[in-house]
Structure 1
Amino acid sequence: MFASVIVSITASDVNKIFEYKIPEGLTDMIKVGHRVVVPFGPRQIQGYVVDIKDEVDYDPARIKPIIRALDVEPVLTPELIRLAGHLADHYIASYISVIETILPAALKSRSKKMLSLDNPGGEASLTWQGMNLPPEVEVKKLSTSQLAALKPFIASGEVTEKTVLTQHTKQKYARALKPTFAPRGDFGRAHKQLELLDFIEQHDEHVLLSVVLENGYTAGTVNELVKKGYVERIDVVVDRDPYKSRVFEEDLPKALNREQQHAYEKIKHAVDEDIPETFLLHGVTGSGKTEIYLQTIAHVLDKGRTALMLVPEIALTPQMVNRFKARFGDEVAVLHSGLSHGEKYDEWLKVRNGGAKVVVGARSSVFAPVEKLGVIIIDEEHETTYKQQDRPMYHAAEVAKYRSRYYNCPVILGSATPSLESYARSERGVYTRLELNHRAVTEALTETKIVDMSIEHRNGNISIVSEALKEAIEERIRHGEQTVLLLNRRGYANFQICQSCGHVPNCPNCDISLTYHKAQFSLMCHYCGYEDAVKRECDSCGSDEVTFRGTGTEKVEEVLKDMFNTDIVRMDNDTTRRKGMHEKLLNTFEQNEIPILLGTQMIAKGLDYPNVTLVGVLNADTMLNIPDFRANEKTYQLLTQVAGRAGRHELSGEVIFQTYNPDHYAIELARSNDYRAFYDKEMAFRRLARYSPYYFHVLFTVSHETVQKCLEATTHIHKMIVDNVTDRAIIVGPSPSPIERINNQFRFQILLKYKNEPNLLEVLHEINLHYNELYKKEKLSLKIDVDPKYIM
């Protein structure tokens, strides 16, 4: 028997399958999906079994055997292995990089070089003992002189060098007490021991020692029972469950209105008939899309199948988890980057072992090792966070559709503001569109106003808060209601500027100005993380006439506190870095009835608070100025989504957009919540400019520390593309990227637009292979982004 193995090396020249012999003792154990340790040259490395066969095409005597298996059960299912191959091909990535993206970080191996004395006795033994070394020693712990002294014995084989592989995170164990049920003797006056023994024997298998101590028993009492043979100490696996101490009130299914019922029945039919249909659930904010998700999943579980539920932002996860845990209890596993490696590993194990039937999480949850999938749901499907920005640059929706075809189950893409690509597919019948045009709980009208900030400034108001918004906030505070304010820019000020010479401090590594953060009293780059102290004098002319311009959330928080004399909850990347802060801040806002929640786009979607009756957007123009063809779409989506946070229950809501472009159609149509009009207007622009969804895109980005190398590489790539595509394709570039330098790397790009290019995939792989080799020699990096979400 032979195993086809992908080894854990990302180099392009080993991005292929290697054959290994399965030793006789392992033939019944090793299956497709197992992690194994294999010899690779002089090393031992981790690999993944992707196929098992009876014969190979070359001399079996030359094939090395697998050393050992790392797991009792395979970590990958055959379906996930097939998926990895598909994604590697489609997104121009290495097979192993996709496999390691699919698996939790805890399963990635760490290696260490170990030396041991092979044959005690002789000169090697004397040298070893003279250094006072343990039986095995890690190479990196030896001094240079020690290693030099042992080198001859390594060469002669008297000292053995081997590689030991371990994984990042293992299962967590805890001490427990197990009753032996031995016949009881006379306890005399040891009443506490007898009481404790009764307590332990109530748990037939075991009880955690921590639970015993929490119930008031002492370690001394435990020791006496162990000594008498009534109890034995054991170690048991425990789950690192981030929700273990939480109590969720049961949430019963709610009655569906006519629109919800129609959508549910359509999806239910696809579930019952095993149809891999993709539904676009287009529902206005507050229309009850989540209740449809919940009832669909309940139906799937009744059929003995499983469900995947994806949300775009970690900030959305707490409320979504609450609803799912309240409806489905312990059958829910949660997977997102906010969990520790250990917590995520335990949740992953729970899913793989069948202990959870419903998975809720962010983008990478689409790879959860669930089997018998009955439905995959992607909420807020328009969000760009579903696209991975690092290799492999996959999109979660494409992964979901592939898995749905494998399991013959439907995919639900839900959004109040669908991506133009998804809506266009629903227009052509590729997706089945289901419309929810009315709010589920209330029909209370939400009034939306646009405030022209240029008029405000002409009237003498130079504050970031318009008079209309100020009055509306004051009214909410008087009535004990809450306000959500959006400013999609963190930090205190956009930049520091010298009023004498106009000098603006820039990041030394990137072509971008540094942002002022008052709390740290520093200037920071939001691209590479560079940080510099604020200087009182200009670096260019020495003047002390330095000031700060622009406004971020940190400064606005200060302004609002002074203006309204009230508490503020601020949510941005600076306040949510620590684990659990998303949920903590949202709970503070809701439970303490803080009047104002201020944040970046992480607060714009998914939040559902009955007391929020006012939403204010402090600068509706922020995303309009991005040099990207999706700028108008992103602006419309963000404004519509955040507007939907107001008046979601019995109380009516009000929305105020502050802008310098009151007549821009993205802002005007967000005010009237007219998605169809926006779609028609934006599609006309896309058709004229020949952008998606009328064309597919591939973005090539070359990075190097010199401009010349970038130009040479992009010129070469341009020629390769021209030589291998039809004259119907459109090639834009080579040109500098909108941000030309990041982290001391100059960046040039080419954008390919096409409709149908039969040879394209082959050409992309050829280009990628060429520049993988070039990276080793010249550190010139190429990223090929298929279907990019950012042209930046």
Structure 2
Amino acid sequence: MTKIAKIIVDIPLMQTDKPFSYEVPEHLLDLVQVGVRVHVPFGKGNRLLQGFVVGLEDADAADLKPIREFLDFEPVLNAEQLLLADQMRHTVFSYKISILKAMLPGLLNSKYDKEFHPLASLSDEERQLYFPKNSPLLASELREELSLKMAELLKAGKVEQVYLAKDRQTIKTQKHYDVNLQLLETLEIAGRAKKRLEMRAWLLENSQSGLLKDLQALYGREVIKFFEDAGALNIREVEVSRAHAYFKDVKSSNFLQLNEEQAAVVEQVTAAIGQASKPFLLEGVTGSGKTEVYLHIIDKVLQQGKTAIVLVPEISLTPQMTNRFISRFGEQVAIMHSGLSDGEKFDEWRKVKSGQAKVVVGARSAIFAPLENIGAIIIDEEHEATYKQESNPRYHARDVAQLRADYHKAVLVMGSATPSIESRARASREVYQFLQLTKRANPNAKIPEVEILDFRDYIGQQEAGNFTPPLLEAIEERLAKKEQVVLMLNRRGFSSFVMCRDCGFVDDCPNCDISLTLHMDTKTMNCHYCGFQKGIPRNCPNCQSPSIRYYGTGTQKAYDELAEIFPQARILRMDVDTTRQKGAHEKLLTKFGNHEADILLGTQMIAKGLDFPNVTLVGVLNADTSLNLPDFRSSERTFQLLTQVAGRAGRADKPGQVYIQTYNPDHYAIQLAKAQDYEAFYQYEMSIRRQLGYPPYYFTVGLTLSHSSEEIAVQKSYEVMGLLRQGLTDKVKLLGPTPKPIARTHNLYHYQILVKYRFEDHLEESLNRILDWTQEKDNQKVRVIIDHEPQNLM
């Protein structure tokens, strides 16, 4: 009998979506565990691939290929994560390898462009042992040699925790020095060696350990080598956390006194920690102190020796949110979001894995953090569509959170001023426990007054295309009082484009059915779908007329108008263009928070979660653009956005005012956002969803088929429609196939089918059959996306 490892290999195909059996070589018997990564030969050519060990058993190993090398001294995936991948496979319709890889930082997922992968976190001496110069070994032999030596080092106790990753930069180290005072004092140095004598004198006075680079700056490498060779100086590598900068300038803070409503919520939630319980939906008006409630819940979790995850929807919210958590819980916090570098993500992941971090704060993927013994999972702004992953694997963080909360008997708290219609409906059916915060945490802070400005009333009167006279007056008033202003441009689906006044030609992307967006800062026309870029045309490409002008609006145009009207104002612009650089969100928000700017002008990223006490005016420049999108959630998204951005005003002692500019002042989403009445909006929207048969009355699955030929895209869409009709019962409603609203991107034509159902036993089986269908030879060039509960039908 031989030890057999069951391994999922890194090929996302239906045929490989199962564990393959490999023999565990004798020298790896004590080392290969469930949850580690290995390299295994796969296929006829025995190409080496990364794989995950998902099971071990004793069996007959006749004709089995052996594992070539193991990559981890301890599992990178735990039993809960492997179970989670099995559970997610039923709803995300993505191959298991894609789900497993999504749980790990990018540095732990192999790239296959190198002969072999060097080891990280070893000393120079140990590295030399692995990679002797001029080694005559072939790459395949070196892999086996490498694996044997790793085993020897581990058994000898020379290394504890090593992760094999794509390059030596995986783990960042700094060289430190230690002084051997006894040897230093007795060391003989010639009288003419002035630098050595000088350095000895300095070390005798400064004998504590230090950074080698500081010593090198003073005395140079050669002098240091003399002391090192003599044994008076010991050089060692110390691991450095690349994410340390996020923690160093944060001052600690004390817990705030809770009001009665907040205290009642904390008590009810914390009483359920460690028990099987329904999720909590916390509906709290903007400024009601939801974050302080979260902090108190986590404090109770930590007192019980448990851990916690806090999810926020966007990077722009992360700096303020993480700072609040770091100020309370210090180094126990780990940060995980897409704004970190690969190295920072890896360091934070290891901090969690090693048990140093007890609280993880991050965006969507932080839900996979390898925490043990979780006591609470909190999802802030739970209504946000960004919690749904738009690429493989298409999971919703809320669903994964529910699975993890059930596994750990943790409390799941979802908070929002404007919960998603689906979540609020679950609360009304008691699937969720419903909690409310109805007043602002600061007793002096009042819900701001909201005024709707009808653009149609000011046609011909406007100094600037983006601003009505009452809004400009209000801005002037706030500037005079030294108060701050937040202005939001609702840019979704509405941006600057170039059009010819003579022939009507619009400059479109050659790869996508969408107009190119004008970017004045880079003097280019850009496609926001495929990345195509070109210079701004001087003449019409169609009729050669010079009468080519740009239309629409954008943050740059609004900024220019503001700067012209208020030359004395300090204006900050916050959009995709100004936040490309690492740390840009935090720098801009810190600047605004320190009152180094009077006006913050931005896109939707400024609408949520930001808390600036001196902001007394909020203006929404164009409330309509998201209303006109062909998506059943467009009214809900507009209401949520307007309510959230209005909540940025008057959060401290000064009263706040909100102006909403619109061409549709009577639309229910805009009127109810003015009234800040979520419950009335919920009732009205539910009646519409019931009539139209949309969530939460029906579940949905979206299928998108894409091909470079429109004819083939249509033909294959009807084939898939036939498979669905064949596999599903007549209780299911099938809509389509129809072209997507933006029918062509990346030179591919897109057709979509929408499946609406309430109960359907054969759904999973039918959708897996379509995954099988994509592997057939005739269909391999068709790109098929299966999206359970799609958040965006564009």
Say whether the fold is shared (TM-score over 0.5). Answer: yes
> TM-score of the superposition, structure 1-length normalised?
0.90
CA shift digits 1:616-640 (9 cap, x unpaired): 0000001001110000000000000
Distance in 2 separating the partners of 1:683 and 1:502: 41
1:185 aligns with 2:158: no
CA shift digits 1:385-427 (9 cap, x unpaired): 0000001100001000000111110111010000000000000
CA shift digits 1:297-317 (9 cap, x unpaired): 111111111110110000001
Tell me: CA distance 1:545–1:327, structure 2 relative to 1, closer, same or farther (3 Å): same
Q: Residue type matched to 2:716 in 1?
A: A
* Kept after mapping to 2: 8 A contact 1:307/1:359: yes
Tell me: CA distance 1:291–1:722, structure 2 relative to 1, closer, same or farther (3 Å): same
Runs of at least 5 residues in structure 2 that lack an aligned partner in the other structure:
117-132, 148-163, 192-196
1:45 aligns with 2:49: yes
* Kept after mapping to 2: 8 A contact 1:111/1:163: no
Instruction: Tell me by how many angstroms 1:757 deviates.
Output: 0.3
CA shift digits 1:294-346 (9 cap, x unpaired): 11111111111111011000000110111011101111111111111111101
1:255 aligns with 2:257: yes
Instruction: Tell me by how many angstroms 1:63 deviates.
Output: 1.9
1:142 aligns with: none
Structure 1 residue corresponding to 2:762, chosen from 756, 759, 764: 759
Identity %, equivalent residues: 45
CA shift digits 1:137-156 (9 cap, x unpaired): 999xxxxxxxxxxxxxx9xx
Instruction: Tell me by how many angstroms 1:86 deviates.
Output: 1.6
Q: Please give the residue correspondences for 1:501-520 in structure 2 after superposition, counting only pairs within 5 Å.
A: 501-520=503-522
Q: Residue type matched to 1:533 in 2?
A: G
Instruction: Tell me by how many angstroms 1:491 deviates.
Output: 12
Q: Which secondary structure does the structure 1 equivalent of 2:321 belong to?
A: helix
2:753 aligns with: 750
Q: Which secondary structure does the structure 2 equivalent of 1:678 belong to?
A: helix
1:446 aligns with 2:448: yes
Q: Which secondary structure does the structure 1 equivalent of 2:635 belong to?
A: helix
Instruction: Tell me by how many angstroms 1:249 deviates.
Output: 1.3
CA shift digits 1:700-729 (9 cap, x unpaired): 100001111111111111111112222221
Instruction: Tell me by how many angstroms 1:277 deviates.
Output: 3.0
1:167 aligns with 2:166: yes
2:194 aligns with: none
Q: Residue type matched to 1:193 in 2?
A: R
Q: Please give the residue correspondences for 1:111-510 in structure 2 after superposition, counting only pairs within 5 Å.
A: 111-112=112-113, 114=115, 135=135, 166-167=165-166, 170-180=170-180, 182=182, 185-186=185-186, 190=197, 193-197=200-204, 199-200=206-207, 202-203=208-209, 207-210=210-213, 222-243=224-245, 246-271=248-273, 273-441=274-442, 442-457=444-459, 459=461, 463-489=465-491, 494-510=496-512
1:126 aligns with: none
1:5 aligns with 2:7: yes
Q: Please give the residue correspondences for 1:487-566 in structure 2 after superposition, counting only pairs within 5 Å.
A: 487-489=489-491, 494-565=496-567, 566=569
* Kept after mapping to 2: 8 A contact 1:492/1:554: no
* Kept after mapping to 1: 8 A contact 2:498/2:518: yes
Distance in 2 separating the partners of 1:493 and 1:668: 25
1:581 aligns with 2:581: no
Tell me: CA distance 1:247–1:433, structure 2 relative to 1, closer, same or farther (3 Å): same
CA shift digits 1:591-630 (9 cap, x unpaired): 2431100000000001101111110000000100111000
1:722 aligns with: 725
More divergent stretch after superposition (221-230 vs 497-506): 221-230
The total of aligned residue pairs comes to: 748
* Kept after mapping to 2: 8 A contact 1:381/1:419: yes
1:600 aligns with: 603
Instruction: Tell me by how many angstroms 1:572 deviates.
Output: 0.7
Tell me: CA distance 1:762–1:677, structure 2 relative to 1, closer, same or farther (3 Å): same
1:120 aligns with: none
* Kept after mapping to 1: 8 A contact 2:702/2:787: yes
Tell me: CA distance 1:349–1:629, structure 2 relative to 1, closer, same or farther (3 Å): same
More divergent stretch after superposition (174-183 vs 628-637): 174-183
2:156 aligns with: none
More divergent stretch after superposition (391-400 vs 228-237): 228-237
Instruction: Tell me by how many angstroms 1:64 deviates.
Output: 2.1
Q: Which secondary structure does the structure 2 equivalent of 1:640 belong to?
A: helix
Q: Please give the residue correspondences for 1:665-744 in structure 2 after superposition, counting only pairs within 5 Å.
A: 665-744=668-747
Q: Residue type matched to 2:166 in 1?
A: Q
Q: Residue type matched to 1:553 in 2?
A: T
Instruction: Tell me by how many angstroms 1:490 deviates.
Output: 8.2
Q: Which secondary structure does the structure 1 equivalent of 2:308 belong to?
A: strand
* Kept after mapping to 1: 8 A contact 2:462/2:468: no
* Kept after mapping to 2: 8 A contact 1:114/1:161: no
Q: Residue type matched to 1:590 in 2?
A: G
Instruction: Tell me by how many angstroms 1:183 deviates.
Output: 5.0
Distance in 1 separating the partners of 2:630 and 2:243: 43
More divergent stretch after superposition (638-647 vs 60-69): 60-69
* Kept after mapping to 2: 8 A contact 1:4/1:19: yes
Instruction: Tell me by how many angstroms 1:65 deviates.
Output: 2.0
Instruction: Tell me by how many angstroms 1:527 deviates.
Output: 1.0
Q: Which secondary structure does the structure 2 equivalent of 1:325 belong to?
A: helix
Instruction: Tell me by how many angstroms 1:73 deviates.
Output: 1.0
Distance in 2 separating the partners of 1:48 and 1:536: 56
* Kept after mapping to 2: 8 A contact 1:334/1:347: yes
Distance in 2 separating the partners of 1:758 and 1:512: 39
Tell me: CA distance 1:722–1:315, structure 2 relative to 1, closer, same or farther (3 Å): same
Distance in 2 separating the partners of 1:684 and 1:417: 17
Q: Which secondary structure does the structure 1 equivalent of 2:764 belong to?
A: helix
Distance in 1 separating the partners of 2:225 and 2:17: 56
Instruction: Tell me by how many angstroms 1:161 deviates.
Output: 13
* Kept after mapping to 2: 8 A contact 1:705/1:744: yes
Runs of at least 5 residues in structure 1 that lack an aligned partner in the other structure:
116-132, 140-153
Q: Residue type matched to 2:29 in 1?
A: T
Q: Which secondary structure does the structure 1 equivalent of 2:549 belong to?
A: strand
Tell me: CA distance 1:537–1:437, structure 2 relative to 1, closer, same or farther (3 Å): same
Distance in 1 separating the partners of 2:466 and 2:183: 79
Distance in 2 separating the partners of 1:191 and 1:455: 81
Distance in 2 separating the partners of 1:32 and 1:276: 30
Q: Which secondary structure does the structure 2 equivalent of 1:656 belong to?
A: strand
Q: Residue type matched to 1:584 in 2?
A: K
Distance in 1 separating the partners of 2:453 and 2:342: 46
1:145 aligns with: none
CA shift digits 1:331-369 (9 cap, x unpaired): 111111111111110111111011111111111110111
Instruction: Tell me by how many angstroms 1:167 deviates.
Output: 2.2
Distance in 1 separating the partners of 2:407 and 2:494: 49
1:572 aligns with 2:571: no
1:30 aligns with: 32
Q: Which secondary structure does the structure 2 equivalent of 1:309 belong to?
A: strand
2:637 aligns with: 634
Instruction: Tell me by how many angstroms 1:497 deviates.
Output: 1.0
- Tell me how large the CA RMSD over aligned residues is: 2.5
CA shift digits 1:200-234 (9 cap, x unpaired): 4x45xxx43246568x7765764454244222112
* Kept after mapping to 2: 8 A contact 1:91/1:786: yes
Tell me: CA distance 1:208–1:508, structure 2 relative to 1, closer, same or farther (3 Å): same
* Kept after mapping to 2: 8 A contact 1:557/1:598: yes
Q: Residue type matched to 1:288 in 2?
A: G
Distance in 1 separating the partners of 2:773 and 2:15: 11
Distance in 2 separating the partners of 1:262 and 1:589: 34
Q: Residue type matched to 2:480 in 1?
A: R
1:644 aligns with 2:651: no
Q: Which secondary structure does the structure 2 equivalent of 1:528 belong to?
A: coil
Q: Which secondary structure does the structure 1 equivalent of 2:248 belong to?
A: coil
